[in-house]
Structure 1
Amino acid sequence: MNDSAIDYAAAFQALPGMVALLTPDLVIADANEEFLRSAGRKREQVVGRRMFDVFPDNPNDPGATGTRNLEASLRRVMATGERDAMALQRYDVEDPERPGHWHERYWSPCNAPVFGPDGDVVLLVHRVEEVTELIRTRGGRSTGRAQVLEAELYTRARELQELNERLRRAHAREREVALALQEAMLPARQASNRRAAVRYRPAVGALNVCGDWYDLVDLVGGHRLGVSVGDVVGHGLAAAGVMGQLRSALSATSRVAEGPAQALDALGRYAHVVDGAESATAVTTFIDFDRQTITYSSAGHPPPVLVHPDGRVEFLDRATDTPLDARPDPIPRPEARTVFTSGATLALYTDGLVERRREDIDTGLARLADSLRRHRAADPETLADAVLMELLPPGGATDDTALIIVRL
């Protein structure tokens, strides 16, 4: 039997468990017959409405956390693209025939993503098993064993909920501190000569933040500018600390190095003695505005993009080497040079801008090139905003994103 012969709509309705499909806005797109039956709702009462408008928390229970826990799980799935199995939940349901009357219910939910062609989460599968009957016995009266089971399950659920809430608060606090630390360590967001625009977008989620960095430095000897970006493996405060050390080291070496390859050589030796710098990547460019040349070198980082005034796109990928600290005994890194004409645009970025789950990176690079080409006439600030708007997912990326636009 081929796919065209399968009635997937009928198969969805016949699923033996309770299943609902939600949009990224948490609107119920569809629900199978078992979901409607167990929830005591008709299709027109559910489909097209926001999940928590149909199923709010019991207002008579001040300790109710069902909607908050479920929404947190659904948003984790959207942010990570991974399935999330929740702890046992008490989530009361209002009697549709008697508004204001609530039935005590217990559920075991699991949420999973559905990906679109571009790798983004386009739907959420919300599957739930009702376990109320495991807690209650026949006739609504509990035997001693059932009472013990009920008390233990309810206690464990509450403990897990409290633990999850404490972890959420701790992660949120770490995110705030890490962002503040990164903000303090990164340079000003606009070069003094107003040729450049920089953008940094932290990843969505509590811990996915603070691995990326950028730097702009005036170089000695003529009208020259050093522009660099880098990415540290890992997230949170530890990554922010390593990021700050590497950025400062490269900024210093760029001022005295003969070229970008020599600057990365020195940075690689420094990374060898920095805990957490393993597999970090970086790319640095030396722009000479008098000679109209760009000299560049990359340590395992995605290539800078040079867009010429006529719309021709050039990836600066002729001097790519291994990440920092990848070799026990470093050897001189490669270096390449290209020329530009006035009005060209140079873009440096980190992988959060172009990488997507289940998508080849060449697709993201082509998307970036197309966006830069179409908006090349805009000023750097406008161009940077346009690129981020077109390339980042509406809900934010799951990895940091740094972007530098330089008008040459």
Structure 2
Amino acid sequence: MSGASGLAVTPSPAIAAEYQRTRALTEALAAPLSDADATIQSMDDASPAKWHLAHTTWFWETFLLRDHLPGYRLYREDWPYLFNSYYEAEGARLARGRRGMLSRPSVGEILAWRAVVDEAISPLLARGDLAPLITLGCAHEQQHQELLLTDIKHALFQNPAGPPMWDLQTPAATRPGAVAWHRHPGGIALIGAEDGAGFAFDNEGPRHRVLLEPFALADRLVTNGEWQDFIDDGGYRTAALWLSDGWAWVNAEGVSAPLYWRDEKHFTHSGWRDRDPHAPVTHISSFEADAFATWAGARLPTEFEWEAIAQGHDALAGNQLDAAAPPLPKGGTDLFGDCWQFTRSAYLPYPRFRAAPGAVGEYNGKFMSGQVVLRGGSCATPRGHVRASYRNFFYPHQRWQFTGLRLAKDI
């Protein structure tokens, strides 16, 4: 998922509270897991929950404590090799696909490390000059909170018994009405994070102008029931609906439904549940989203169209993550939350974009190749993490995240 630009210095008491809140939520999300649960890795795209607990701590130790606390000594000299992710400037690291082989350190040892880092970092939270970096660290850990949830869901799905992470019933989705449309007259729109308006990742800027043709964006997401209609109408068997790469992927992988669907049920963090036809469809690929839009006589929005509409909506609204509980799309007419929404835009740099120097500059820019942009956040995204300019990105075939779609059309 999505270094940082336009970082405003937040008052240190607020920074300290955000740090403590963020760190506590990560541990609460992992609390239901056994050591075995937290160690397994189901595929290269996903990481063990234990690794997320450790990597986020490595981030704080590396970029805050090591560089800004005189006399600080690493908790373990060999752990940076285990828990660096992709920062080439930080040296060699364990191959991504081998993270599930780390039977040691245990979850308990990692939690002890987290406690040591939290205590050591306490005096730095009062330093106003470090507020931008601390804000970035909190945003980074929030991204890993969502990844922890989606990665463990994929891991538990591999167990034929379908074990729940939380054995809780979830409320029924909101029954949707007929699709209404947010209409936009077109013209020049300002896109990207505004300097001085608060935290934003570097890939959200620089702010720039785009020319939009008149368009409309649906007021709600596509539902499970509508997706079932697509399946029943031969959507996965009709080549004319699919992009060439998508049709090749469907046939090579034998795809015939969204990930986690089985008969009339779907797999959730609460185990196998009856699939709610009114809930937004999720865990689909960009290929599937595009094929459905074609079948529906519509299209996917560009990321600029989506943002132009989103600028008038509350990014704190909608079904987003507030606490350690099962994330599940519920529906409604909020533009944010429930599931990440595919756009038809390639993930590319904005005009005048420059990656920041050093390791932090590796955060986004080097991934601007071959991926597509998603907008809006999901039920597993911590509330307050996203905004209208926020750009998420995945490869077209990936669907283990909470990914869905909102239709657009020309007017």
TM-score over 0.5 (shorter chain) = no
**Which protein has greater RCO, CA pairs closer than 8 Å, 6+ apart?**
2
Q: Could you state the TM-score of these two structures normalised by the residue count of structure 2? A: 0.23
Name the one with the larger strand percent: 1
Structure possessing the higher radius of gyration over alpha carbons: 1
TM-score between both structures, scaled by the size of structure 1? 0.23
